[in-house]
Amino acid sequence: MGKGDTGVVDIHGKAYKTVALRVSEFRQAHPNYTIASNVVVADDEKVVIKTEISDESGRVISTGFAEEVRSASRINKTSAFENAETSAVGRALAFFGLAGSEIASADEVAGAINQQKTQEAVEHLVKHNEAMKANFEAIFNIKEGIRANDPYKVLENLQDISNEDQESLWVASTKGGVFTTQERAYFKTDEFNAVRKGAAA
């Protein structure tokens, strides 16, 4: 660990030790104990690692298991073994007594949060693509209306799209959204909003 790095990470108000800190503490306190990892499962779908901590006599003091699904993230496509071993070691050390306030390590929690964000992004993209298919003609007409600076045409076709689909379509173009930055800006213009307010009156 670098200077000033405590190895303890606060995530949502809970203290999680990194695996690196747990290993460092373990080595300092028990230089003659061993950490051994074994592959339980390794196939095209997932990797499961079991880690055992043993004392000088070879007696197993604690164990930790971890599973990583290869398709869960870009990192897992190339490093599922490494991620699973890190988590298994961290869990074995936590059960040994080097946990901080939580069994999960900071590494595990950060990975889970990133995985959840990735899953949410994928789900949002799926909804966006479904909304795009369901409203292709209206989207085309909205784009035509914006190009022609015809707020009435834009509004008429926008009203043909459900609120739920509108939310799904409202994705920045840099993230694959159907409307360009300039087109998105059109929806905020005074001219368009005046027409929208007039239609709602």
Tell me: the pLDDT tens digits for 129-157? 788 888 889 988 898 999 999 999 999 99
Q: How many domains does the chain have?
A: 2
Task: Tell me if 174 is assigned to some domain.
Answer: yes
Look at 38 and 175; give whichever has higher pLDDT.
Answer: 38
169 and 104 share a domain?
no
pLDDT at 18: 77
CA distance 107 to 90: 9
CA distance 108 to 4: 22
For the chain, give the number of residues. 201
Whole-model pTM: value is 0.48
Task: Tell me if 121 is assigned to some domain.
Answer: no
CA distance 180 to 48: 44
- Residue ranges with strand state E in the chain: 8-11, 14-17, 34-42, 46-54, 60-69
**Residue corresponding to tokens 């390590």:** 105
Task: Tell me if 127 is assigned to some domain.
Answer: no
25 and 87 share a domain?
yes
CA distance 100 to 109: 13
Helices (H) and strands (E) in the chain, counts: 8, 5
CA distance 156 to 188: 16
| Domain housing 173 | 135-200
16 and 110 share a domain?
yes
**pLDDT higher than threshold 80 for residue 99:** no
100 and 66 share a domain?
yes
**pLDDT higher than threshold 90 for residue 176:** no
Phi/psi of residue 16, nearest 5 degrees: -120, 130
Task: Tell me if 125 is assigned to some domain.
Answer: no
151 and 105 share a domain?
no
